[in-house]
Amino acid sequence: MHTFSPPSIKNTTSVAQVPGEHIRNDKNRLAVSPSSCRPVHIKIATGERRSHFFSSCIITGLLLCLLVLQGCAKGTKPVEELPPPNGPAVSLYETRDTFLRYLQPGNQKMTSFRDLGPTIDKSLKYVGRKPRSNVAVSRPGLKVTWGEMYKTLLRLKKLLPSLDEHPELFAEHFRWVPVSKGINYSGYYSPVVDASKTPKKGYDHPIYRRPPDLGSHRGKYYTRRQIEEEGKLANKGLELAWAKDPVDVFFLEIQGSGCLRLDDGSIICINYDGQNGHKYKSSGRIMREKGLLKRGDIFEQRQWLKDNPDRVDEILHENPSFVFFKLGGTGPTGAMGYIVDDWKSLATDRHFIPLGSIVAYGVNIPDQKWGSRPLRAIGFAQDVGGAIKKNRIDIYCGSDRYANYVASFLDAKGPAWILLAK
């Protein structure tokens, strides 16, 4: 039996945290409270009498039942149970053939490679608007025109019906251009925040749209303290909604997009629409400097803020950065203007891996049961971020608890290839 615990994946890079730009500091990532349903690992010595063994099993079962009941009483649920990992751990130096040997639709929670179709269509619409002869990217090791990218997307779409039975077609029909030195991977997801369209008791924290004069302040607008404490934007018609919890909104800003669960039961989505120009300072750093944390992870941060509501403003207002939002569609929208897709859409540096690129990516992602899980997948560059530079990719993980968990802890290195039609 495996004990549930945060994965022991070492951080490989130190990246500045930029609000609304998908990239989070390893100690300051958005996540729900960890599951209370934690199996207990009890060792039973070999060679004991059979009666002792059965007694131990009964005790173990009772303990597990108590833990499950305790978790259910608290209303918590474990992160989604997944099948065992497929294949060995991903290696930064693994070959294309090794990658393909373990590439399966199920790695991305798909039932077939045909499921890539709608995502490919979004990239085709975007790339199709570009002049075919123009260069999409030109850097050492890679020079590609928009026409080549369009041809590649069409080729992959045509092959989709055959790939489940013949994955070797990936090698036969595409050039695999490796990304030198690999990729630093992180994840982002779409949080859901309780809110109301009108201010009322329990819903008194405004979520602001972009002010019309944001660009007229020489790069720096009002600070978070001026906006939230001094009310510099209050009563100007800029409120999109009012949230229940200011902490939820603070971490929503880090993700850059998410959904609001309104008090009438409806769901609306909002997207990043600008930032006040002030440098971001993470809540984890603020709280560590004050000696308030032992571990510093998001779970401890959220618990401390919940236990000390009178100090929430003190902590959050030390971060001068503030993010503005706009109403979105039915989900988080990427830089192409289309809704991003779980485990398929990637945020990249468009000057390094241009929007519309097909990327074969591999990384070991956090897993509560197994510690880590190899992910070998086919992704599409469909989003960007201010902190996504060169050899960094942010994987859109979705909006469920599993996505939350992976996005909260993923910070690992792995290989990547850009696919181009032969």
Stretch 16-28: mean pLDDT? 42
Claim to verify: residue 368 and residue 277 sit in the same structural domain: no
Q: What local confidence, expressed as pLDDT, does residue 322 receive? A: 95
The DSSP bridge pattern shows strands 267-275 and 371-383 to be unpaired
- Structural domain contains residue 407: yes
The DSSP bridge pattern shows strands 192-196 and 257-262 to be parallel
Q: What local confidence, expressed as pLDDT, does residue 100 receive? A: 97
Claim to verify: residue 348 and residue 263 sit in the same structural domain: no
- Structural domain contains residue 17: no
CATH number (domain holding residue 364): 2.40.40.10
Claim to verify: residue 276 and residue 339 sit in the same structural domain: no
Is the pLDDT at 52 greater than 60? The verdict is: no
Residue after which a domain boundary falls, among 327, 358, 392:
327
Cα distance between the two ends of the chain: 47
- Structural domain contains residue 345: yes
Give backbone dihedrals phi and psi of 341, rounded to 5 degrees, phi first: -115, 140
Q: How far is the C-alpha of 72 from the C-alpha of 241, rounded, in Å?
A: 32
Claim to verify: residue 109 and residue 152 sit in the same structural domain: yes
- Structural domain contains residue 312: no
The DSSP bridge pattern shows strands 267-275 and 257-262 to be antiparallel
Is the pLDDT at 372 greater than 70? The verdict is: yes
Taking only Cα atoms into account, the Rg of the chain, rounded to an integer number of angstroms, comes to 23
Tokens of 271: 């997207």
Is the pLDDT at 377 greater than 90? The verdict is: yes
CA dihedral 250, 255, 256, 261 (to 10 degrees): -70
Contact 71, 37 (CB under 8 A): yes
pLDDT confidence bin for 80, thresholds 50/70/90? low
Give backbone dihedrals phi and psi of 17, rounded to 5 degrees, phi first: -85, 130
Residue after which a domain boundary falls, among 327, 356, 385:
327
| Residue 217, SS3 per DSSP | coil
Element (H, E) at 261: strand 257-262
Q: What residue numbers bound the domain in which 244 lies?
A: 204-282+319-327
Contact 270, 258 (CB under 8 A): yes
Is the pLDDT at 312 greater than 90? The verdict is: yes
- Structural domain contains residue 22: no
- Structural domain contains residue 351: yes
Stretch 268-290: mean pLDDT? 92
- What are the distances in angstroms from CA 312 to CA 4, 30, 58, 250, 307? 30, 16, 45, 11, 10
Claim to verify: residue 100 and residue 171 sit in the same structural domain: yes
Claim to verify: residue 136 and residue 152 sit in the same structural domain: yes
CATH number (domain holding residue 266): 2.40.240.50
Is the pLDDT at 158 greater than 90? The verdict is: yes
Claim to verify: residue 323 and residue 338 sit in the same structural domain: no
pLDDT confidence bin for 319, thresholds 50/70/90? very high
Claim to verify: residue 228 and residue 153 sit in the same structural domain: no
- Structural domain contains residue 225: yes
Give backbone dihedrals phi and psi of 381, rounded to 5 degrees, phi first: -70, 105
Element (H, E) at 312: helix 312-316
Claim to verify: residue 408 and residue 353 sit in the same structural domain: yes
Q: How far is the C-alpha of 4 from the C-alpha of 38, rounded, in Å?
A: 6
Claim to verify: residue 166 and residue 111 sit in the same structural domain: yes
Claim to verify: residue 120 and residue 213 sit in the same structural domain: no
Claim to verify: residue 213 and residue 323 sit in the same structural domain: yes
Look at the chain and report how many structural domains it folds into: 2
